Structure 1
Amino acid sequence: ELKTLPKGATALDFAYNLHTDIGDTCIGAKVNHHLVPLSHRLESGDQVEVLTSKSQHPTVEWLNFVTTAKARTKIEAVLKRERKELAKAGEEKIKEVFQKASLEPTQSFLDKLATYFGFSRREDFYYAIEKGDVIIPDNIRKILKEKNGNVILKYVKKAFGVGKKKPRILTPSDASSDKPVFDKTKPYELREEAFGRNYVVASCCKPIPGDEVFGFINDDNSVIVHKRSCPIGIRLKSNFGDRILSTVWSSHTSSSFEAILQITGIDEVGILTGIAQTISGFHVNIIRLLIETKDGVFEGKINMMVHDVEDIQKMCIALSKIKNVQSVSRIVN
């Protein structure tokens, strides 16, 4: 069957051209019998076979993979519907909190609470609650009655997961003072210490040495390290600029950090053996290795402990050289 698409159309555009359900569940395609990603641009005369999976669903990144208005509209419709559903669930959660506090969830209270957590629209606030980006304490009376920002700061930090007790930062000033002093005129060096590190890795984005990061000074003066692209980190920067530190990584040889690689390709006998042998050559600790195959295509995720971004880059290059491996990339939170 012949299909006509505009110049520059991608495999994902083609899938949506066939049917909305096919587009929504598309995981890739075979073009002229070769496995290609969703973003692959098609050429005139290409033979295309769309690959789907029931577990697949559209993501925001898909908007970068399409050029046709039809595909973009379909993707946006799904994202809007999912966001609305999540926001509704978040709204129910906040109403439960109000009920426990014996308070009426009036528009005034809801708007005030949303504003305190940095949201101008209640729907965005509800969405963040359901996504886990914001956690509302059971007792919200203090927040609603507080006139200054102190209590709000406390709960925002709790919502961002930076209010828990963390290891104290070790600095040269410890010898004469119990409280670390941060020199903001120069980058804070993220380094290994004798029994740990002089910083704490943020659980929301899990950066590793080599990532572009910044530090957030917590109440106990520990430094929480976030990726610059981390949504929670960005919100912290906009609300608590006086607590932000520029940072620089030092060499890490002892500490290990969890990283996840995604690998896809064409399935064949011996492909798993080749992947395992390549990984073993790097002497890294594999936490989890999962590979699934369907319709002649495999997709896998590898959880491992590495020292820095360079380890990941070397691993990706080595794995990509294996015959029939089509793509290898790091999964970033």
Structure 2
Amino acid sequence: MADTTKDHLSAEDKERREEEMIQAAFQKLLDTYLASSHRRKVNIITRAFNFAKNAHKGVARLSGEPYILHPIAVAQIVCEEIGLGSTSICAALLHDVVEDTEYSKEDIATLFGPKVANIVEGVTKISGGIFGEKASSQAETFKKLLLTMSNDVRVILVKIADRVHNMRTLDSMRPSKQYKIAGETLFIYAPIADRLGLNKIKTELENLSFKYEHPDEYNSICEKLALTQPLRDKVFEDFTPPIRKALDEMKFTYEIKGRVKTPYSIWRKMQEKGVPFEEIYDILAIRIIYRPKDREKENQEALEIYGALKKEYRLHPSRTRDWLENPKANGYRALHSTFMSKQGQWIEVQIRSDRMDEMAEQGLAAHWKYKNEYSSGGDEFERWLNSIKEILDDPQPDSLDFLDNIKLNLFAREIMVFTPKGELKSMPLNSTALDFAFAIHSMLGTHCIGAKVNHVLVPLSYKLRSGDQIEVMTSSTQHVQPEWLNYVTTAKARGKIQGILRRENREKERKGEEILDAFLEEKGLQKVQKVIDRMRAYYCCNTNELFLQQIGDGKIKLNDEAVSYVRGKKRYKGWRRFVPFLRNTVDDNDTYQRQKEEDFVKGIDRKKILTINSEIIDRCHIATCCSPIPGDDALGYITPENTLEIHQRSCDIATRYKARYGNNIIAIKWEQIPNRLFRTSIYIAGADREGILFAIAKLLHDMPGYTIHRITLDANAGFFQGEIDISVHDTRDVQNICKQLRKIEFVKDARRIQEQSKNKEKNHEEGK
């Protein structure tokens, strides 16, 4: 009896402590709200809190905490870090009520009004899918989010706050769930936060995603940042006194801060450049935040500060970026320049007014605050929101295509180009002449045959550069072609082209179905799925839609051989028709192997970490897009064909899978796999000297246990660089080979080539 009482008292103590936690968290939210400039609507916020608390009563998160602490935390982020008011705070407190309890949107509307209810509805996840069972639920959720956002942008802001708190509490999730959520965050939510000008939140989402996807690299960079902090402090102390003196003489009120590059940003640059931490030289930047003496001359005063800096330090001739008159698409305004310190080090200086700084950190909330007097940033946001609405106006049955198209609008950096009349137009980096045509008008894009750029004729695929003046050329006989999808990079152009092609394909399908129906009737065959599947297999078409399109387009001519194949006579599909001695063995082996792989994948427990060992590796497919090897941070992806693909966690394709098909992601770890080699590539460079190729080849020959496939070296002006194609056991082998190669005299660099990083460096430099 005593034990029962003790347990009962413990439960009471736990309940009391939880209640204290809840009340303390809510009081902090109220205090933050009351300290803001918003109207004092405490009563409705308190009602929303009590309603949500009762609705989630007795429910705990995976961490063991009462569930209501999550909505309170989301509301705190909405209020404190994004700067929104009572309507958004109430929606944040209630955002999970419709999804997780018996209450409906109508109940929320009755108690708290239609605005709060609409935001809650927009944030609520959808179950199943409105575009078909095979569609990605993540893509569907995101599409619904944007559909609602087009009416009230607070939907996306509350959803971002929800994602921020989920990322801050991701420790309690299993690894495969962590990869899914982190990948989805990096793929969609961080770019949206960036586009909305929420710089602090964007940075935190990127770093948290990096922390969970690559914990070892994250911890390593954090440790190195901590160790090198005293050196950066010294640079800051040496560099800023002349600036302070100049600003004091100019009678400015100002603040000077040091901005340190984030771990994620450093890691991305290490990957793109293929260099270690020690060779990232722009970790520190100096930020000058000034209060204008005359608000109407805000930009002019920024240029005056810039002029004073030029008198103190030598300016880098090609690293000045002016976003004062022409802000970024997210409304960011500042003047960035790079100067040489007295110690011979290049240092970036960012010049912002106090309002520019607030808009850079708070984003959209600050845009609204200054909308009347400071409209340029808001205009940029409105233009972006209008482009989203335009894509939504052209609905696409494949929500995954939609997700990719929207993402093009999120990640794009901008260039500035001119129309023939001299009108300035912002376009995403890497836009083509065809993108520009669609940006001006859909009909112009549809009938585009080329363009004149700076009065010179260029093809549709010409990539625009800042300062180009473009005149679009059209023809009434021109029509959209499927290959145009290879020529465009913007979401609007891609969406319009896909829409037109879909309409044309539907017409081809209709015509193809008529031809097929007549053919089957003529040959005395029933139009049942088994017959269609056999016909489709004979012509090597993966889908019914493609089969009908190719019939309608005249690419497939229905014939008697296909009829014989359908009726089971000795005719074989595709290439097997021409290799009779392989017919049975290929079919049998393919079926047997496929069945083994499917059985293996079906038996995987997705909640556990799958250990890849010598028994399992032969049933996995090593992804060629990133070529992972044992020792890499990796994950598994269950394909629609029910096979398991292994990708590097940092792989761009894997990131898309995490965002699209998160439930198909498997957490994996490598075991040592003896007697198995994996192919990879090593970059090597150095001073060109006689005998260097022999020295490299001899070193590799003397290192047993590896297979060399190819060595290529190119020499120019006393410098060589090349690639070694080699098979190794794991990442330790690669590290050892690179270490030994760097010991060769005149070899200055040797490192593994990451497949997904190839060809990115140029775009990175252009987009700075």
TM-score of the two chains, using structure 2 as the length reference = 0.25
What is residue 112 of structure 1 aligned with on the other side? 396
1:308 partnered with 2:592: no
Tell me what 1:265 maps to.
686
Change in 2 beyond 3 A, CA 1:213/1:142: farther
Distance 1:115 1:185, change over 3 A: closer
Do residues 222 (structure 1) and 660 (structure 2) align? Answer: no
In the TM superposition, 1:274-285 aligns within 5 A as: 274-283=695-704, 284-285=706-707
Q: 1:143 to 1:294 in 2, by over 3 A?
A: same
Identity %: 26
Calculate the TM-score normalised by the size of structure 1: 0.54
For the residues of structure 1 that align with 2:505 and 2:637, how far apart are their CA atoms?
A: 23
Number of residues of Structure 1 aligned to a counterpart in Structure 2: 221
What is the Cα deviation at residue 221 of structure 1? Answer: 2.4
Q: Which runs of 5+ in 1 are unaligned?
A: 1-59, 75-105, 145-153, 156-164
Gaps of 5+ in 2: 1-270, 274-279, 286-314, 322-389, 413-427, 432-484, 507-541, 544-589, 756-768
CA RMSD of aligned residues (A): 4.5
Matches for 1:1-333 after TM superposition, within 5 Å:
61=272, 71-72=318-319, 112=396, 115-117=399-401, 118-119=403-404, 120-121=406-407, 130=486, 140=502, 168=594, 180-193=602-615, 197-283=618-704, 284-333=706-755
CA offsets, 1:123-149, max 9 Å, x none? 57998964999x98x9846999xxxxx
Contact 1:114 1:121 in 2 (8 A): no
**Partner Cα separation in structure 1 for residue 602 and residue 504 of structure 2:** 30
CA distance in 2, matches of 1:319, 1:132: 42
Change (3 A) 1:111 1:71: farther
Q: Aligned with 2:699: secondary structure?
A: helix
Q: Distance in 1 between matches of 2:751 and 2:739?
A: 10
For 1:197 and 1:143, locate their aligned partners in 2 and report how far apart those are by CA, in whole Å: 40
Q: CA deviation at 1:214?
A: 0.5
> Does the CA contact (< 8 Å) of 1:110 and 1:122 recur in 2?
no
Distance in 2 between residues matched to 1:197 and 1:328, nearest whole Å: 30
Letter aligned with residue 183 of structure 1:
D
Q: 1:263 to 1:253 in 2, by over 3 A?
A: same
Distance 1:269 1:190, change over 3 A: same
SS in 2 for 1:197: helix
Q: Render the CA deviation track for 1:6-30: whole Å, top value 9, x for unaligned.
A: xxxxxxxxxxxxxxxxxxxxxxxxx
Q: Give the distance between the partners of 1:290 and 1:265, measured in 2 at CA.
A: 14
CA distance in 2, matches of 1:116, 1:315: 42
Q: Specify which structure has the bigger relative contact order, considering alpha-carbon pairs within 8 angstroms and separated by 6 or more residues.
A: 1
1:132-168 deviations in Å (ceiling 9; x for gaps):
99x98x9846999xxxxxxxxx99xxxxxxxxx9964
Q: State whether residues 601 and 638 of structure 2, in contact with CA within 8 Å, keep that contact through their aligned partners in structure 1.
A: no
Shift of 1:332: 0.3
The structure that is helix-richer by fraction is 2
Q: 1:287 to 1:250 in 2, by over 3 A?
A: same
SS of the counterpart of 2:396? Answer: helix
Amino acid at match of 2:612: L
The AA in structure 1 aligned to 2:720 is F
SS at match of 2:725: strand
- Tell me the amino acid that sits aligned with residue 673 of structure 2: H
Tell whether the 8 Å contact from 2:681 to 2:725 is kept in structure 1 after alignment.
Answer: yes
Q: What code does the residue aligned with 1:332 have? A: Q
Q: Give the deviation of 1:220 after TM superposition.
A: 3.1
Alignment partners' CA distance in 2, 1:207 and 1:288: 19
* Aligned-partner residue type, residue 238 of structure 1: A
1:241/1:290 CA distance change after superposition, 3 Å: same
2:687 aligned partner, one-letter code: I
SS of alignment partner, residue 192 of structure 1? coil
More strand by share: 1
